[in-house]
A and B are shown apart, each in its own frame.
Chain A
Amino acid sequence: MAEKKATREAYGAALAALGEKHDFVVLDADLAAATKTGVFKKKFPERFFDCGIAEGNMMSVAAGIATTGKIPFVSTFAIFASGRAYEQVRNSIGYPHLNVKIGATHAGITVGEDGATHQANEDLALMRTIPGMTVICPADATEAYAATEAALLHNGPVYLRYGRFAVPDLSAELAGYHFEIGKGVVYKEGKDVTIVATGFMVHLAMEAAAMLAEEGIDAEVINIHTIKPLDAELVERSARKTGAVVTAEEHSVIGGLGGAVCEALSESYPCPVKRVGVEDSYGRSGKVPELLELYGLTAKNIAAKAKEAIAKK
């Protein structure tokens, strides 16, 4: 079993390490301990700026900093980064295409006990509609670290989605793992059905593939860490091979990975697609494993949906 670690931990570690070589600044809205930007703050206090509990101002401040050539990483919880500050992200950062990196943590229902107000199940959808915005949802700690570095080196606005909950570090065990923005990663080749997953759902997709294998179904598993720009070519190629697709994400089934994959395939290669995710509802308080079960974010559900997709071929 792979080592478990939260992607937000890797984000903080990456900022602290990258800060040695790169002259970026970090902004947070009174959540440095939780978002893990506090790790950077401890090492580079002169390059860390707390903006207080004022996320809208923070986004526009970051935009102003970016106009002068400096690169700001801006962190808060995903619900505030993408929701409360949506319009600041769109108008101050997105429209002028400024080089701001938004490190949004505590995404999805794995926030757990804090409940619905703090569980962003819509952030990928919101950020994906902003022209020019790159949207990344790393699967695990190794990928989160690599994505943070790639975002820093990418010229343009990037939304990075990290989680609170510790998840298996699958990428660490992948031989020759390489991260490239916009390039999906095939975790397992197969011929009967394609499971396209993002975030920690990738490891559940692998578990689902193992379950399906026991029933003689050969599933292909693709990690789509970049929701935008989507690796539509890889998704289409795999769909043409298997003829059935399941998407899996810790996000609403509306507008996120499932939405993006359906949009792409409906134009390139229409085929049965089943979406696993939060079914157009709010989250609630609870222990993470119980919530995952309750909302159907399980390997079992992915496997069931895979069979439904295959049946529709």
Chain B
Amino acid sequence: MEELRKLALKRTANAVRHGIIDGVYNAGCGHPGGSLSIADILTYLYFEEMNVDPKNPKDPKRDRFVLSKGHTAPALYSVLAHRGFFPVEELKTLRKTDSRLQGHPDMKGTPGVDMTTGSLGLGISAACGMALSAKISGDDYRVYAILGDGESEEGQVWEAAMFAAHYKLDNLCALIDWNGLQIDGPIAEVMDPTPHDEKFRAFGWHVITIDAHDLDAIEAAYAEAKTVKGKPTMIIAKSIKGKGVSYMENKCEWHGQAPKEEQYLVAVEDLNKIDAELK
């Protein structure tokens, strides 16, 4: 990736991180850790990869995105806002009673949200349905999904994995945000779902493993996925939970709590430092 484009994407990703922190802080609750870990990937998807139009969010020909790990809605909302689907200022209304930004994504309420998710394991199945639908009618849109690594403990993920391979859904590219942590602790201690690469290969998927914060690797993986015929692709993206906020990085406890005022100020300072480095 050329340096200028990469720099611009990094700035956007950091703006997305600001939006995540602002949203969760103002809500007083929410899921910052797993939102920060997918900020680079979501930024790449919405600013480089996917064919979407904020002015025509329901365009039948658009690429689809399903946030199967729906609890990281703050990241999705932030990237949608920065892409122009709704005002960035609105991120501060996250989880408020009169807001259209629900705690988990609601396709009926929020412009740009393609599927209602939140209950783990359901989103990847819905993404399969969208991809199958494109195959049925010969449409060439692609379907993208992001799952959590802990989410793969849900049996339905594997039902969907079977389904996608069986119907040769090569227009489906899913990604596991592999940060290694879930609410109760490291995934290896809670209920080890690894090895994801071998398991998805055995289920008939093309598997690519990357660093979730390396934009060159992200770009290469999504490009490779498009060349794969006859099988779906799973990108296993090794990420840092809480990426970008010093005290949140690799900490389970930041899975699902909002920063207090002092912590919020530190988070903003951390992200401002990154902004300064990207000047």
Contact = CB atoms under 8 A, between A and B. Distances in A.
A61 B167 CA distance: 12
B106 A51 contact: no
A148 to B, nearest CB: 21
B245 interface: no
B133 A57 contact: no
Interface stretch (B124-132, B177-185, B206-214): B124-132
Nearest to B124: A60
A70 B137 contact: yes
Contact of B116 (A54, A68, A96): A96
Contacts of A25: 136
Contacts, number: 104
B126 A63 contact: yes
Interface in B98-131: 106-108, 114-116, 118-119, 121-123, 125-131
B162 A60 contact: no
A91 B119 contact: yes
B116 A95 contact: yes
Interface string A30-65: 000000000000000011010110101101111111
A25 B137 CA distance: 11
Contacts of A88: 122, 125, 156
A60 B116 CA distance: 10
B160 interface: yes
Contacts of A60: 122-123, 125-126, 128-129, 156, 160
B167 A92 contact: no
Given A60-B156, A63-B126, A64-B126, A47 B136 contact: yes
B48 interface: no
A59 B125 CA distance: 8
A48 to B, nearest CB: 11
A92 B133 contact: no
A96 B119 contact: no
Nearest to B154: A56
B244 to A, nearest CB: 31
Given A62-B129, A91-B122, A57 B160 contact: yes
Contact of A56 (B106, B107, B156): B156
A176 interface: no
Contacts of A216: none
A67 interface: yes
Contact of A69 (B60, B107, B163): B60
A87 B125 CA distance: 13
A245 B137 CA distance: 51
A49 B159 CA distance: 14
A65 B133 CA distance: 5
Contact of B128 (A61, A66, A70): A61
Contact of A67 (B119, B130, B156, B159): B130
Contact of A68 (B130, B155, B162): B130
Contacts of A63: 115, 122, 125-126, 129
A106 interface: no
B134 interface: yes
B130 A92 contact: no
Contacts of B162: 52, 54
Contacts of A51: 163
Interface string A205-238: 0000000000000000000000000000000000
A66 B126 CA distance: 9
A39 B133 CA distance: 22
A161 interface: no
B163 A92 contact: no
A118 interface: no
Contacts of A87: 119, 122
Q: Which 7 A-B pairs give the minimum distances between C-beta atoms? A: A64-B129, A60-B125, A64-B126, A57-B159, A54-B159, A61-B129, A68-B133
Interface of A: 25, 46-47, 49, 51-52, 54, 56-57, 59-70, 72, 87-88, 91-92, 95-97
Given A52-B162, A66-B129, 12 more contacts: A54-B163, A56-B159, A60-B122, A61-B126, A61-B128, A63-B126, A64-B126, A65-B129, A68-B60, A69-B60, A92-B119, A96-B116
7 contacts: A47-B136, A52-B163, A61-B160, A64-B128, A67-B126, A67-B130, A68-B129
